[in-house]
Amino acid sequence: MKRWILLPLVVVAAVAAYASRASVRLEIFPTVSVADARSTVTVTAEIRDANGKRVPNGTQVIFNTTLGQFRETVVTTENGFARGILKAGGIPGSAKVTVTVPAFSTVGTTDFEFLSDRSLLASAKEYIEIVAPSDLRFSLDNNLLGASGPGKTVKLRYREVEIEADDIQLDISAYTVRARKATLHINKKDYEFGELSFRLNTRKGFGTAVVPADVISSIELAGFMPMIRTEKRDRLSLVQVTSSGITAATEPFPAEGFLFMDPSESITQISAKKAIVFPRKLIQFQKAEVYVGPTRVMQIPLYQVNLNGNSQMFTEQIVNVADNQLSVNYPYYLSMRPGETSLLRFRLGGNAGRGFSATGGAFVDYELRWNRGDEFDGGLTFSGIGRNDWNLGLRQSIQIDPHTNAFAQLDMPAGRYLYGNGSISRQFTGFQVNLSGNASRSLRGLNYEDQRLSLSLDTDGSKIRNLPVTMYYGIGLTSNKTRYDLQNRQDVTRNYRDLALTTRAQLNSITIDSDTNLNASISTNVRPHRKDRAVGLLGSVTVARQLGTGANLNLTYDYVDDLFDGGFLGRHRLSFQGFLGSGRTSFSIFGTKSLDADRLSLNGDFSYQVSGLWRLSSIYTFDKFLGDTVLDYGLGIAYRLGWREVGLTWSKRTGRLGIQVLGTSFN
């Protein structure tokens, strides 16, 4: 039966022709930012053609986002790289960032989170360490990490918090720890619990503990009146837990709040002796074993799982067949410990855009990552070792003191081009000062140099009396210098300076009903020295609606009338994001439409589990900008063979049938 199913797939692979396409690799640094209508991050797109070579210089790349605004929408490549500067809007949330390469009919997407408050940036760099000599397992499908060990041999550490217990379960997305027979060490004190439910990032929770309580010792009659005598005795009680200690519970807590969640439905699990969790980023495992159901399929000393994007199992991350083409992504870890990871990575081929097609090319990369919690986070990457299109990249963020943060980024593709950007911000009483800049220059060929420096001062928010509105004020200075040589060796230099006074009104989140929230922000930029377009205006309104269990929809309207891309994207923009996960069906969609310009982007993914063996999937990508159109859609059917799937796909881009083996998670 299995051979009969595979036979037509093999025949299709033998007669399929190769199709031209390109791949887009996206990186955003810093990895998180604040929705303050001021902060910026750099979106780097590396674009390679079907053979794995970087696309020609001057290839047009279009940047788009559902939250915030790109400083330049249309950017051309330099040595295969295109970079867009994404400026935060005033509304927090997860932005869908889209990068389109019309000449190669390719679209790449990624997610980026804008936080509501600058204080939350610190938690994005924290890590949680769990050691369990007996049993530690991570459920790949629901982000649960559980560990057991008699005699309190399971140990969890998070900043100054330490927990020793017989059993521990960590819900990574919620920072919630559930534990049995536990000792909590916090604020230099130890507390014993029979059961414990504790949120690490808020240092609050509930537990059952033996504490002194008033109990009735005797009842005596004094005349006709009963006299009740009490005394202090130790008894098991429900208590509230904070960083200051434990107190008698003053509010109810359900008994099911102590129950461990059931990970048994998770198909893929990872067993290890030690795990280091970087929330929102990744998990590192030592002495890892990968299980699919009850079967152990892989054993490796050091292993890492990304928490962003699709969670594929180890074998799918290493090797798969996409569109009849073998793809390999093998990480050989040189070292792995809290705060530092180094590895050599071998890559062969990869996915092309969002569809079912693939590209070629072989690469060897060296990657070094370091993390010291809030204070120090960065990495060094040397990609394409031995190739003539290698790249050297450096990333670093640092907390100089509790009030001062800085970051820097540097790229040097093949020694031909140098790009860097950086920022340093300082929080004072009532206001913040930020100095940022980016620069690029050619190292070979025609001379080219571009420099941009910005200095801004922004006040902390002040609430308007009796209104759910917070006001922010600021002033910004910008200097831009561009110098380049023409073919006739004539030097051309352009200078630009700008002064802007800014105000921002932020609507505090309003609850329309139990399932609907409203957020809004409006910013003005006044440039006193300009005679034309002296006033710029940016506004956003977002409605978030929970559509029952497992479904939600976000709708955003943006008004943009500024110096940047209002002419290209228009002044009015609608964006939406939706998700449905119910039973056998999974569906997600997001898109952006300019109401007064030729700009439309629409992406959708659909999956339906027909039975325990068969699954249907589809993707749709449409992108239109000033007459350039990218359209791709495809269908896939997957069949489970044992613990894995094989799939048969069709894509409009390739116009042919293709085979997917191992990496068949289309949605």
SS (H, E, C) 252-291: CCCHHHHCCCCCCCCCEEEECCEEEEECCCEEEEEEEEEE
Q: What is the pTM of this model?
A: 0.73
Measure CA 288 to chain center: 24
Q: In Å, how far are 70, 102, 361 from 352, measured between CA atoms?
A: 24, 13, 12
pLDDT attached to residue 574: 93
Cβ atoms of residues 646 and 659 within 8 Å: yes
pLDDT attached to residue 313: 39
Beta bridge partners of 112: 95
Quick one: tokens of 556?
A: 């955003």
Report the number of secondary-structure helices (H) and strands (E) in the chain. 3, 46
pLDDT along the chain (667 residues), means of 10: 38 37 86 81 91 89 88 86 88 87 88 75 69 85 85 88 93 89 90 93 89 70 71 80 85 86 75 84 82 77 69 52 77 75 86 74 91 76 93 91 89 91 91 91 85 91 87 91 72 80 89 89 85 82 86 90 64 90 86 90 90 88 87 87 75 81 46
**CA atoms of 587 and 604, how far apart (whole Å):** 8
**CA atoms of 652 and 646, how far apart (whole Å):** 20
pLDDT attached to residue 487: 61
- The CA-based angle 100-418-445, given to 5 degrees, is 95
pLDDT attached to residue 13: 38
Count of alpha carbons within 13 angstroms of residue 424, beta-carbon side: 3
Return the closest-CA partner of residue 371 out of 31, 144, 25. 31
- The CA-based angle 47-50-51, given to 5 degrees, is 100
**CA atoms of 277 and 558, how far apart (whole Å):** 36
Return the closest-CA partner of residue 605 out of 560, 555, 537, 665. 665
Residue 173's contacts (CB-CB under 8 Å, 6 or more residues apart) are 143, 279
pLDDT attached to residue 121: 61
Put residue 123 in one of left, alpha, beta given phi > 0 → left and psi -120 to 50 → alpha: alpha
pLDDT attached to residue 475: 93
Strand ranges inside 460-565, DSSP E:
462-463, 469-485, 491-513, 516-526, 535-546, 551-561
Return the closest-CA partner of residue 588 out of 606, 576, 610, 608. 606
**CA atoms of 16 and 249, how far apart (whole Å):** 68
pLDDT attached to residue 6: 40
Residue 166 carries which side chain, given as an amino acid letter?
Answer: D
